[in-house]
Amino acid sequence: MIQTKWLAMAVISAALFLVGIDMTVLYTALPTLTHALNASNSEKLWVINAYPLTMAGLLLGLGTLGDRIGHRPVFMTGLFLFGLASFGAAFSPSVGYLIAGRALLAVGAAMMMPASLALIRQIFETDHERAIAIGVWGSVYSGAAAVGPLLGGLLLSKFWWGSVFLINVPVVIIALLLTPLLIKKTLGNPNRVWDFIGSLIVMVALVSLTYALKEIVKPTPDVLLAVISLLTGVVFMAWFVGRQNRSASPTVDFALFRSAGFLGGVLAILVSMVAFMGVQLILTQRLQLVLGLTPLQSGLFMLPMSLASFLTGPLIGSKLLRLGVERALWIALLIGATGLAGLAYFEHGTFTLQIVSLLVFGFGAGATASISSTAIMINAPEEKAGMAASIEGVSFEIGGAIGVALMGSIATCLYSSSIKLPTDLPDGGRARDSLDQAVMLAGHLNANVAKQLIVNADSAYDIAYLGVVLTGAAIMAALGMIYARFLRPTNTRSADARRH
């Protein structure tokens, strides 16, 4: 029985690994993809953000769908859609098709992610086993996001950029075959309402608010567009909240957030993912475009962060109940902030010092994800496991989307305002758009002007990189210190009793 449990966990982990991988696997492929599809800086960010934003909008509704019809069929349907979308995205002929493919990938991922966590609640029945299994779950997801750039680099060293999607297909097929053999089908609650309209409303709200954020932090924002997007997001979010408060069976029960442990876990995931995804995106670009590393070398450079993220989940999960969830959470946040502070301090230091800093950051970020997952699930009633898992999934995806949008926009703003263009440079606006565009423009200039442009662009990007890393360190440290001061320990046995 124990062996079957952990084999089922392996299948769930393989599917979750794909979901996490697709958050970041394009990071090392972006320079190659930009050239192949002639993507602008804005289009690049949407290629990345189409996945987490669509996923975040659908997670809430699809999580409660699992509560209604059972989590195994939702999990398997998500697997199928994910495989189908992966195949289509691999052969996208343009940026528009790729963005659409990423959105469809997100639909499958939004079905798998909450279902996977709810299935763990179903398979593992004791607090100790659940803590370890949930720790593995958080570790696999954050670790997959960390290893994405390495996998992308490995594939790009031998194949074309579409291979980063095609690699998903055989894993999906194997998982689809094994799931019905290893995971027992359980009935859902047919009285549970599935609010698909509410999911669409919150998706519009999240996309609008994120777009407004991206526009506001641009060097030359379109104020009218930013205001319209912000108002749209606020109106739709208010509509969603009002709809949930009036519903007899809401998609989101806001009473869950009255638990300090539950709310603390959600906020910790948001902050750590903003830092994790934002820093990873900017770092992979710097390694290739400024330091001249190949995609594979860039992925290898970040491997220590990936390994640290993978290892922390099971390690923390086995000791968590003894250490205390709240104490472990603020310690993990401060460890992550320390790693980022080191990365900023050693910006021009040896690779060894930077890699050690990444190792510390990866440990802190991975531990934060694992501990937060446990904090959320132990503070939610059993009958709302799908809802809690959905809220957790939304936290991951929104954190990732905000990380890409906010940190990407901060980097763009700092880069554009810092770069000094050579005199009489044709198409200077293109060079200010992004470092990628400056590099492509330099290929059409005479040697002296091209060299000066690249030197200035690299210097500006270093400023942008430092700003992003310090921002990540600041938000993790701030939340960690707030938790250390105000988040009081809870009795996990009492929490377990409340769930039953």
Measured between alpha carbons, how far is 108 from 460 in angstroms, rounded to an integer? 39
My answer on whether 185 and 316 are in the same domain is yes
Those residues whose C-beta lies under 8 Å from the C-beta of residue 233, and which sit 6 or more positions away, are 204, 205, 206, 207, 208, 209, 210, 211, 212
257 in the same domain as 235: no
Closest CA to 217 of 53, 50, 403, 405: 405
Other CB atoms within a 10 A radius of the CB of residue 259 amount to 18
Helices (H), ranges, 157-302: 163-166, 168-182, 196-216, 223-246, 260-289, 295-301
- Place 495 in a pLDDT band, splitting at 50, 70 and 90: very low
Question: What count of other Cβ atoms lies within 10 Å of the Cβ of residue 212?
Answer: 22
d(CA 245, CA 223): 33
CA distance 198 to 237: 10
- Determine, yes or no, domain membership for 31: yes
What is the C-alpha separation between 331 and 251, in angstroms, rounded? 32
Over the chain, what is the mean pLDDT?
Answer: 79
499: helix, coil or strand? helix
Domain co-membership, 336 together with 369: yes
Q: How far apart are CA 498 and CA 261, in angstroms?
A: 13
Q: Look-up: residue for tokens 């709809």?
A: 243
Interatomic CA distance for residues 391 and 103, integer angstroms: 19
Region 458-467: mean pLDDT is 87
**Does the pLDDT of residue 152 top 90, yes or no?**
no
Task: Indicate which CATH number applies to the domain containing 182.
Answer: 1.20.1250.20
CA gap 136, 376 in Å, rounded: 15
For residue range 98-133, list pLDDT tens digits in order: 888 888 998 898 888 878 877 887 777 766 677 677
Highest mean pLDDT among 16-20, 67-71, 265-269, 300-304: 265-269
Is the pLDDT confidence value at 341 over 90?
yes
Q: Are the C-beta atoms of residues 415 and 298 closer than 8 Å to each other?
A: no
Torsion of CA 37, 40, 43, 44, to 10 degrees: 80
pTM of the model: 0.71
Total structural domains within the chain: 2
pLDDT at site 228: 93
Residue 494 is predicted with a pLDDT of: 42
| Gap between the Cα atoms of 24 and 144, Å rounded | 8
Q: Please say which residue of 246, 266, 286 terminates a domain.
A: 246
Phi, psi of 268 (to 5 degrees): -65, -40
Q: Which of 207, 201, 205 is nearest to 234 (CA)?
A: 205
User: What angle, 0 to 180 degrees and rounded to 10, lies between the N-to-C axes of helices 351-378 and 260-289?
Assistant: 150
> For residue range 446-455, what is the model confidence (pLDDT) as tens digits?
777 778 778 8
- Cα angle vertex 263, ends 262, 265, to 5°? 65
In a domain, 434, yes or no: no
Checking if the pLDDT of 149 tops 70, the result is yes
- Decide if 333 contacts 476 (C-beta within 8 A): yes
Residue 440 lies in a domain: no
Is residue 133 domain-shared with residue 230, that is, in the same domain?
no
317 and 231 inside one domain = no
pLDDT band at 489 (very low <50, low <70, confident <90, very high): low
Residues spanned by the domain of 240 = 196-246
Angle at which helices 325-345 and 447-486 cross, to 10° = 160
Kindly state whether residues 239 and 255 are assigned to the same domain: no
pLDDT at 499 over 50: no
Looking at the fold, whether 241 and 255 belong to one and the same domain comes out as no
Same structural domain for residues 459 and 348? yes
Predicted confidence band of residue 82 (pLDDT cuts 50, 70, 90): very high
More confident position, 496 or 137: 137
* Model pLDDT, residue 497: 41
Tell me: the pLDDT tens digits for 395-451? Answer: 877 787 778 778 887 888 888 888 887 776 666 666 676 776 777 777 667 777 778
Q: Tell whether 216 and 358 lie within a shared domain.
A: no
SS3 20: helix
Is the pLDDT confidence value at 492 over 60?
no
* pLDDT tens, residue by residue, 7-52: 888 888 888 888 878 777 777 777 777 777 777 666 777 787 788 7
What are the tens digits of pLDDT across the range 221-270? 778 888 999 999 999 999 988 888 887 777 777 888 888 888 888 899 88
Helix, strand or coil for residue 303? helix
Residue 126's contacts (CB-CB under 8 Å, 6 or more residues apart) are none
Q: Any idea of the CA torsion for 216, 222, 226, 228, to the nearest 10 degrees? A: 170
Structure tokens at 56: 């975040």
Of 216, 246, 276, the residue that ends a domain is 246
What band does 490 get if pLDDT is binned at 50, 70 and 90? low
Do residues 41 and 111 both lie within one domain? yes
Q: Is there a single domain that holds both residue 205 and residue 117? A: no
Whether 320 has a pLDDT exceeding 70, the answer reads: no
- Which stretch of 80-84, 321-325, 332-336, 494-498 has the lowest confidence by average pLDDT? 494-498
- Identify whether 428 is part of a domain: no
Residue 427 within any structural domain of the chain? no
Kindly state whether residue 189 falls inside one of the protein's structural domains. yes
What is the model's pLDDT at position 248?
73
Hey, how many other C-beta atoms are within 10 angstroms of the C-beta on 181?
Answer: 10
Residue 445 placed within a domain: no
Report the pLDDT averaged over residues 50-75: 75
307 part of a folded domain:
yes
> pLDDT tens-digit profile of 124-143?
776 667 767 777 776 777 66
Predicted pLDDT at 314: 62
Mean pLDDT of 350-378: 85
Q: What's the pLDDT band for 297 if we cut at 50, 70, 90? A: confident
Residue 75 predicted with pLDDT over 70: yes
- Is the pLDDT at 2 greater than 60, yes or no? no
Higher-confidence position of 462 and 252: 462
388 with 460, same domain: the answer is yes
Q: What are the tokens at 79?
A: 């697997």
CA 91 distance to own-chain centroid? 24
Show the tokens assigned to 422.
Answer: 């050579």
Residue 146 pLDDT? 66
